[in-house]
Chain A
Amino acid sequence: MSLNRNDIENIARLARLELAEAEIPVYVDSLTRIFDFVGELDRAPTEGIAPMAHPLPGLAQRLRADEVTEADAHERYQRNAPRVEAGLYLVPKVIE
Chain B
Amino acid sequence: MAQSLPEPTVAALARGLAAGRYSAVELTRACLARVEAAQPQLNAFITITAEAALAAAAAADAARAAGRAGPLTGVPIAHKDIFCTSDVRTTCGSKMLANFVSPYDATIVSKLAAAGTVNLGKLNMDEFAMGSSNETSHFGPVRNPWDTARVPGGSSGGSAAAVAARIAPAATATDTGGSIRQPAALCGVTGIKPTYGRVSRYGMIAFASSLDQAGLITVSAEDAALLLGAMAGFDPRDSTSVDSPVPDYAAALDAPLAGLRIGLVREFFEKGLDAECEARIREAIAVYEKLGARVQEVSCPNLPLSVPTYYVVAPAECSSNLARFDGVRFGHRCESPRNLTDLYSRSRGEGFGAEVKRRIMTGTYVLSAGYYDAYYLKAQRVRQLISADFARAFESVDLLLGPTSPTTAFEIGAKVDDPITMYLNDIYTIGANLAGLPGMSIPVGFAGGLPVGLQLIGPHFSEARMLNAAHRYQLETDWHLRAPAAFA
Please say whether the chains A and B touch (CB closer than 8 A).
Answer: yes
Name A's B-contacting residues (CB within 8 A).
7-8, 11-20, 23, 26-27, 30-31, 33-35, 37-42, 44-46, 49-57, 59, 61-62, 64, 73, 76-83, 89, 91-94
- A–B pairs, 18, beta carbons within 8 Å: A16-B348, A17-B352, A17-B357, A27-B361, A31-B361, A31-B362, A33-B418, A33-B420, A41-B312, A42-B378, A46-B381, A50-B384, A55-B435, A62-B236, A80-B101, A80-B103, A80-B331, A93-B339
Q: Mark B419-451, 1 if CB is under 8 A from A, else 0.
A: 110010000000001111000000000000000
Q: Is the CB of A41 within 8 A of B379?
A: yes
B294 at the interface (CB under 8 A from A): no
- Cβ-defined contact, B436 with A55, below 8 A: yes
CB distance from A31 to the nearest CB of B (A): 6
Q: A11-B365, A92-B339 are in contact. List 7 more A-B contacts (CB 8 A).
A: A11-B368, A27-B357, A31-B358, A34-B362, A38-B309, A51-B384, A52-B384
Contact in complex: A52, B381 (CB < 8 Å): yes
A80 vs B325: C-alpha distance when bound (angstroms): 12
Nearest 9 pairs of A and B residues by beta carbon = A55-B436, A18-B349, A51-B380, A80-B330, A46-B381, A82-B333, A16-B344, A18-B345, A52-B384
Given contact pairs A76-B103, A82-B333, A19 touches B357 in the complex (Cβ within 8 A): yes
Compute how far the CA of A76 lies from the CA of B101 in the bound complex, rounded to whole angstroms: 10
Bound state CA distance, A41 and B340, in angstroms?
A: 38
A7 to B366, CA, bound (A): 13
Check A40 against B358 for contact (C-beta < 8 Å).
Answer: no
Within 8 A of A (CB), among B8-54: none
Chain B residues near A73 (CB, 8 Å)? 103
Q: Would you call the interface of chain B mostly helix, strand, loop, or mixed? A: helix
CA distance A35 to B315 in the complex (A): 12
CA distance A40 to B286 in the complex (A): 35
**Docked pose: A58 CA to B211 CA in angstroms:** 17
Interface size on B, residues (CB 8 A): 73
A80 adjacent to B309 (CB under 8 Å): no
B364 within 8 A of A: yes
- Of A20, A27, A61, A77, which one neighbours B239 at CB under 8 angstroms? A61
Residue in chain B with minimal CB distance to A60: B239
Q: How long is the Cα–Cα vector from A79 to B195 in the complex, in angstroms?
A: 36
Out of B328, B385, B419, B423, name the residue touching A46 (CB < 8 Å). B385
Contact (Cβ within 8 A) A55 B434: yes
Residues of B within 8 A of A14 (CB): 364, 368
A44-B302 in contact (CB<8A): yes
> Which B residues lie within 8 Å of A78 (CB)?
329
Nearest CB on A from B180, distance (A): 16
B280 contacts chain A at the CB level, 8 A cutoff: no
Residue of A nearest to B376 (CB): A51
In the complex, the answer to whether B381 meets A51 with C-beta atoms within 8 Å is yes
Chain B 371-384 against A: per-residue CB contact (8 Å), 1 yes, 0 no? Answer: 00001011111111
Contacts A17-B348, A55-B435: A49 and B358 contacting too (C-beta < 8 A)? no
Chain B residues whose CB sits within 8 angstroms of the CB of A16 once the complex forms = 323, 326, 341, 344-345, 348
Determine whether the beta carbon of A91 is less than 8 Å from that of B384. Answer: no
> Are the CB atoms of A19 and B349 closer together than 8 Å?
yes
Q: Which residues on B sit within 8 Å (CB–CB) of A52? A: 380-381, 383-384, 387
Interface check B273, CB cutoff 8 A: no
Does B305 contact A89, Cβ atoms closer than 8 Å? Answer: no
B343 interface contact, C-beta 8 A: yes
In angstroms, Cα B380 to Cα A62, docked, is 23
Q: Is the CB of A41 within 8 A of B378?
A: yes
Is A89's CB under 8 angstroms from B103's CB?
A: no
Which of B327, B339, B358 is close to A30, meaning CB atoms less than 8 Å apart? Answer: B358
A17-B360, A80-B100, A89-B329 given; A62·B312 CB < 8 A: no
Given the contacts A19-B357, A34-B362, A53 and B103 also touching, CB distance less than 8 Å: no
